[in-house]
Structure 1
Amino acid sequence: MAERALPGHIAAALAGAGGPADSAGQSWAGRDLSGDGNPLHNFDADDGSADAGYLAALAALEDGSGTEAQVVATLATARVFVPIVASLAEEAESDHGLVADKEADMALVTLTAPDGRKALPVFTSVPALQNWHPKARPVAVYAARAALSAVSEEAQLLVVDPGADITFVVRRPAMWALARQRDWTPSYADQEVARAVSAAVDVEPSVTGVELVQAPATATRSARGTVIAGGGAGPELRMVLHLAPGLDAQAVQGIAGLLQQRLAADPLFVERVDSLELKITR
């Protein structure tokens, strides 16, 4: 087969540059794109494995020596992979009745949580992503950047390694903290949240006490069946109200409704509490 000739303008450009060259006319011959002087991107030395700090914090959470906050803190500097998949556009017919080639658009993958909220999945390693969706393309980003993408997609959850041995859910307040590159304190350990709740209940004489604790729904379960005290979707905050005796059901319901209205009107509480579970004792 005869060698195919280059278009004249391209051949002239190559000849003027002394051979194959880049758009600035610099020859490719002898050039080396490796090394610190020519990084291809932020992760050019990345082998696709999970961040060691994240794995250590997750193992500590599993054995009971770590906390959710420590896991989220490791994500602040960790690289994750966001899955991108190709979605085919519809075929277009030309004026001559010929069908044009399909165009493929790359789309960000989102999930729907059991409670209906939108979630963005991210993966700590390439194998974890490929096991979940073999055709998904891994795009490496810092977890903070992934959290920012989740916010822009109006997602309320960041789900780390769905389908893996341990799936860790980063709930909305923690996800926002990652996106803003700020430290995160869980609402059940946040003293400012506790003060906001105290201010809301102090005006109710029928409330004799209040406790804020980590709700059981924050727990998750590993593939081995181990229950882990963190990483679940929530509700993450349990508010235990102690009421004076003698109140009927209607009075109790009225007190609970008023407290929920006051807390829903508190900007700090709304920002830092993803979801609330109310328990009443007498």
Structure 2
Amino acid sequence: MFNWCQGRNRHRDNGLSSISSDVDHGQVDPELLELLLQDRLSSKQKLFEKLSSSRLIAAIMPKKQEQVEMVQALFVSNDGRQAMPVFSCLDELKSWNQEARPLPLNAIEFAQQTLTQGLDGLIIDIASDHKFVIDGYMLSCLANGKEWKYPHQDREVLDFIEEICLEIDGVKNVEIKQGQDCDLQVTIYGPNSIAQKVVEVSQEIAHAEIIRERAPQGADLFLRPLL
């Protein structure tokens, strides 16, 4: 997970659109706002599911340049990563920049644009206390219409970890749950004699592509000796 708290704004030429007052007045979806305001540990999956059918608004900025009147705003973090700021409603857009004009699309289309343009993420309501970053595997899932789950509920992630751990001689059981300071907490039940092997397996898991992609905050492994 990357720190998008600090950075600068920039712009990119893009096609223009505007909200039709007959269809969309630019108001916030109450259900979307409620999910954005909730604790992320418990609401992230519901928020992702809601975004799959939500309208968001990008920012189009005036630019005094020959043959270019308006450009789409981007955000650049201090480490050079680029994201597209999008907003849940016109009020959030205007609180970020009074000069910005709205470009409404559904969240899936914005996710697809983000990947096509080689950007690193979407930031929803960047000027608010409830801002939400969509990047990495979640961004890919949204763009491609795939289901996203917490790592500890992702069957492919669980199967991968269980298979590696159960290959250690002496392991009787593997328990995987949501971590506190990481994505996953893995408890391996076996004799003390496999402690070094557990350390080696933890490194193998940490460097696995599926873990780096779907559980970027990593996994903590613990050995619990059998009585």
2:13 matches 1:67: no
Higher relative contact order (CA 8 A, sep 6+): 2
2:222 matches 1:281: yes
2:122 matches 1:158: yes
Between structures 1 and 2, the one with greater strand share:
2
2:56 matches 1:80: yes
* Alpha-carbon separation, structure 2, partners of 1:206 and 1:55: 49
Higher alpha-carbon Rg: 1
* Alpha-carbon separation, structure 2, partners of 1:118 and 1:78: 22
2:192 counterpart (228, 242, 245): 245
1:48 paired residue number: 26
Provide TM-score, normalisation by structure 2.
0.71
**Counterpart residue identity of residue 206, structure 2:** Q
Moved more, 252-261 or 194-203: 252-261
2:122 matches 1:137: no
Unaligned runs of 5+ in 1: 1-39, 90-101, 218-234
Q: Is the 8 A contact 2:19 2:26 kept in 1?
A: no
Q: How many matched pairs?
A: 205
Q: Structure 1 residue 212: deviation in Å?
A: 3.7
* Alpha-carbon separation, structure 1, partners of 2:40 and 2:212: 31
1:184 counterpart (143, 148, 156): 148
**Counterpart residue identity of residue 163, structure 2:** A
Q: Is the 8 A contact 1:82 1:140 kept in 2?
A: yes
Unaligned runs of 5+ in 2: 1-17
1:176-229 CA-to-partner distances (Å, cap 9, x unmatched) read 222222332222211222112112222234767654444456xxxxxxxxxxxx
Q: Is the 8 A contact 2:36 2:131 kept in 1?
A: no
1:140-192 CA-to-partner distances (Å, cap 9, x unmatched) read 11111111111112233322111213112223222222222233222221122
2:203 counterpart (257, 260, 281): 257
Q: Structure 1 residue 124: deviation in Å?
A: 0.3
SS in 1 for 2:93: helix
**Counterpart residue identity of residue 245, structure 1:** N
2:149 matches 1:202: no
**Counterpart residue identity of residue 258, structure 1:** E
> CA distance change for structure 1 residues 281 and 112 in 2, over 3 Å: closer, same or farther?
farther
Q: Considering only aligned residues, what root-mean-square deviation do their CA atoms show, in Å?
A: 3.4
* Alpha-carbon separation, structure 2, partners of 1:71 and 1:108: 25
2:106 matches 1:149: no
SS in 1 for 2:34: helix
> CA distance change for structure 1 residues 200 and 116 in 2, over 3 Å: closer, same or farther?
farther
